[in-house]
Structure 1
Amino acid sequence: MTGHLAIFLPSVSGGGAERVMVILANRFAEQGLKVDLVLAQAEGAYLSQVSAMVNVVDLGVPRVLQSIPKLARYLRSSRPDAMLSALAHANVAAIIARRLSGIKVRLVVSERANLSVSASNAGTLRAKFMKRFVAMGYPFADHVITVSKGVEQDLVTGLGLSSQKVSTVYNPVVDQELLEKSQLPVEDDWFKRDQAVPVVLGVGRLSPQKDFTTLLKAFSRVREERPVRLVILGEGPLHSELEKLATELGVQGDVRLAGFKDNPFPYMRHCSVFVLSSAWEGLPGALIQAMACGAPVVSTDCPDGPAEILEKGRWGSLVPIGDVGAMAKAISSALAASDQPDVSRRAMDFTVDQAVANYLDILLPGHGDGHPESLNNYNPGR
């Protein structure tokens, strides 16, 4: 396959969007495409995971707004066939930069969040106004890719984008590397096979969006009924607040805020139940990853993604956002269940190969048929 693709991001810090874009860049390059990963600032946890086949272009500016003139110059000099961007503020910058460049490069932007929900929960003026900037800018993109049908519907009904201009492509989450990494030994002794106490697992940034406060409170209720432990993987501004809450609830001895892990997958494979407690999402990758590892799952029915992933409860319990009692009941039921659905089967609908083929269909229309390699015979062997 031939062609020249650019992917624009602020950086490759440790967020879900950045991880997805690095995966796509690497896979595009493996297929013989020339790939430029254009970063406002070449820094972040995923920089070491960028393939040597991908050309990293460092614009060398600390803010996305400052990157616009340099991105326009890059487009004029490099003239890629298509450019993909992700994250709302970077998408708006990419739209402006293409207009300034004066060249005809196909521009596809990726929206990963329900902007209506994000705007209503925004804590800064910039975040509150982002929905307005997006509404003005996105019509000038050639196409918008969303990570879930819920996000797609929000753009069409909430922002008035043409449904012909928006497509849902599920994130590239599951690949052979994830499945192999899940088989590695888990670092935490709470997860050892000889431990009789079940472990509830949460994964994500310690921020209001992930609502680990509700998870902690629900866990404390389950803890009143039976021996159980809770591990949360992730870092963020609410670390000390969550530690304080665990102490107030009297469960600090059975709770570990274990920090960010490069490889959370063995934890997912060995946990007794994985819980997504988020107040809102776009398409929660951690939920899909846990399912790929075979973990029984409980999730809030938040906008958007969990109901799509779990097919309205077929593969795991959906509970109302912030409902401590319902979450505690669902966790207890999952721990007590002798029969669990084979969630790894559903996770195979979110493979990297399928996502790469779908992205290329939109970025380079007519590039050729994509026949993703199947992982459906994988058994996580929990």
Structure 2
Amino acid sequence: MQSELIALLTPDLRGGGVERIRVTLAREFCNLGFNVEFVLAQARGELLAEARKDFPVVDLACDRLRSVPIALRSYLRIRQPTVLCSAMWPLTAIAPFAASNTGTRVIISEHGILSAQYRDWGNAHRVGLRGSTATGYRLAHARVGVSAGVVRDMAKLSGMPENQFRVINNPIPPSATPTADEFEKASAFWSVPKGGRIITVGTLKKVKNHELLLRAFSMMRTVGTELLILGYGELRSELQQLSHQLGIADRVVFAGFHPNPTAFYQTADLFVLSSNFEGFGNVIVEALASGTPVVSTDCPAGPAEILEGGRWGRLTPVGDAVALAAAMDASLSEEHDFDALQNRANDFLPTIAAKHYLDAFGLS
């Protein structure tokens, strides 16, 4: 067993994509022989119990962000981890300050397009975002973005050259093979036969632009289609109302959240992502891993990189319902190399990401 300790810093362990990625990476680091522990601003969240089964979890018990630097510095002095890997601004700006002169290497990683996420927060917040990244990023030993688009945004915000950052794509573990019961339950949601089944997976919030998807779906020419929407969110009732207004309510299924959507991907004929922006696009890789063809909006980051500019799926302009409908029709009418799609998904296996991170840590 290696003596090096890798500490993973996040605000908490709620059930989001970033938090799930950290748990995945922790397991890979452990498999490669390293000690790992989670450091949380607050020990809470849906994934907390899962993390505690396998790893130590340190609770900084900070109700406010301004309390984090002192608590984190105290932790670093006591535990002296070899590496502190911090995710999610503002922790990515705070961690390098707190770790100054402690002997711990700090690697920061961003998982979203910060300038887009905080676009509507006002000038004061924008100044704080730029100032904190400009200083905090420079103090870090290494800087990671989960896609080239995220790296471009990080560089622009901080005023640093792009070559001071590295791209490490999100680790997407192989999905557990659905049981016969799971497959049967997923199949029961569909009321049309194979050939016209369209699925999307994601939280029902503005950035995912399910409104665009519904409008595009209403414009499709393919006969016998149905749209299955997996996910919860604040816009559910609004989207249900829109589906009635568009006259497609009888062909749109709001299926709610399912922790393992693999059976749904496998019973579908097409996966569609209609987001305004993405940091990466985990669901695209999940769909490819199931051999499900993909149509996606060409977001500033993520989808075009995963699909290699359209090699592994169709890309349409953000916000263009007509183009999205046409791409969905075209994809359903085409033949696809399902094995090739699954092989592309293998480029994002956790072992690959973990080794890239270890290189950034200086532990490879």
Q: TM-score, normalised by structure 2?
A: 0.91
Match of 2:328, SS? helix
Alpha-carbon distance between aligned partners in 1 of 2:192 and 2:247, rounded to the nearest angstrom: 26
Match of 2:36, SS? strand
Match of 1:231, SS? strand
Amino acid at match of 1:24: L
Deviation at 1:19, TM superposition (A): 0.8
Amino acid at match of 2:39: V
Amino acid at match of 1:84: C
Which residue in 1 is equivalent to 2:203?
205
Which residue in 1 is equivalent to 2:267?
270
Q: Is the CA contact (8 Å cut-off) linking 1:292 and 1:348 kept in structure 2? A: yes
- How many residues are treated as equivalent by the alignment? 361
Q: TM-score, normalised by structure 1?
A: 0.87
Deviation at 1:67, TM superposition (A): 2.6
Deviation at 1:167, TM superposition (A): 0.7
Which residue in 1 is equivalent to 2:284?
287
Deviation at 1:33, TM superposition (A): 1.7
Which residue in 1 is equivalent to 2:254?
257
For 1:177-201, what per-residue CA distance to the aligned partner results, in whole angstroms no more than 9, with x for missing partners?
Answer: x153588525334456983563211
Deviation at 1:16, TM superposition (A): 1.0
Q: Is the CA contact (8 Å cut-off) linking 2:84 and 2:106 kept in structure 1? A: yes
The aligned runs of 1:152-301 (5 Å cut-off) are 152-175=151-174, 178-181=175-178, 184-185=182-183, 187-190=185-188, 195-196=193-194, 198-222=196-220, 225-301=222-298
The aligned runs of 1:2-41 (5 Å cut-off) are 2=2, 3-41=4-42
Alpha-carbon distance between aligned partners in 2 of 1:182 and 1:326, rounded to the nearest angstrom: 37
Q: Is the CA contact (8 Å cut-off) linking 1:79 and 1:105 kept in structure 2? A: yes
The aligned runs of 1:333-372 (5 Å cut-off) are 333-340=330-337, 342-363=340-361, 365=362, 367-368=363-364
List structure 1 segments (4+ residues) > 6 angstroms apart after TM superposition: none
Q: Which of 318, 330, 337 does residue 315 from structure 2 map onto?
A: 318
Give the % identical residues. 35
For 1:256-298, what per-residue CA distance to the aligned partner results, in whole angstroms no more than 9, with x for missing partners?
Answer: 2222221112111221100011111111111111111110000
Amino acid at match of 1:90: L
Q: Is the CA contact (8 Å cut-off) linking 2:190 and 2:197 kept in structure 1? A: no
For 1:13-46, what per-residue CA distance to the aligned partner results, in whole angstroms no more than 9, with x for missing partners?
Answer: 1211111011111222233322110111222122
Alpha-carbon distance between aligned partners in 2 of 1:312 and 1:103, rounded to the nearest angstrom: 43
Deviation at 1:164, TM superposition (A): 4.3
Q: Any unmatched runs of 5+ in structure 2? A: none
Alpha-carbon distance between aligned partners in 1 of 2:98 and 2:179, rounded to the nearest angstrom: 41
Amino acid at match of 1:21: R
Alpha-carbon distance between aligned partners in 2 of 1:54 and 1:316, rounded to the nearest angstrom: 38
Match of 1:218, SS? helix
Alpha-carbon distance between aligned partners in 1 of 2:121 and 2:151, rounded to the nearest angstrom: 20
Alpha-carbon distance between aligned partners in 2 of 1:34 and 1:335, rounded to the nearest angstrom: 47
Deviation at 1:154, TM superposition (A): 2.7
Amino acid at match of 2:57: V
Deviation at 1:143, TM superposition (A): 0.7
Q: Is the CA contact (8 Å cut-off) linking 1:5 and 1:81 kept in structure 2? A: yes
Q: Is the CA contact (8 Å cut-off) linking 1:122 and 1:128 kept in structure 2? A: no
Match of 1:237, SS? coil
Deviation at 1:66, TM superposition (A): 3.0
Deviation at 1:115, TM superposition (A): 2.7
Alpha-carbon distance between aligned partners in 2 of 1:217 and 1:164, rounded to the nearest angstrom: 40
Q: Any unmatched runs of 5+ in structure 1? A: 369-382
Which residue in 2 is equivalent to 1:98?
99
Provide the aligned C-alpha RMSD in A. 2.4
Amino acid at match of 1:344: Q
Amino acid at match of 2:233: G
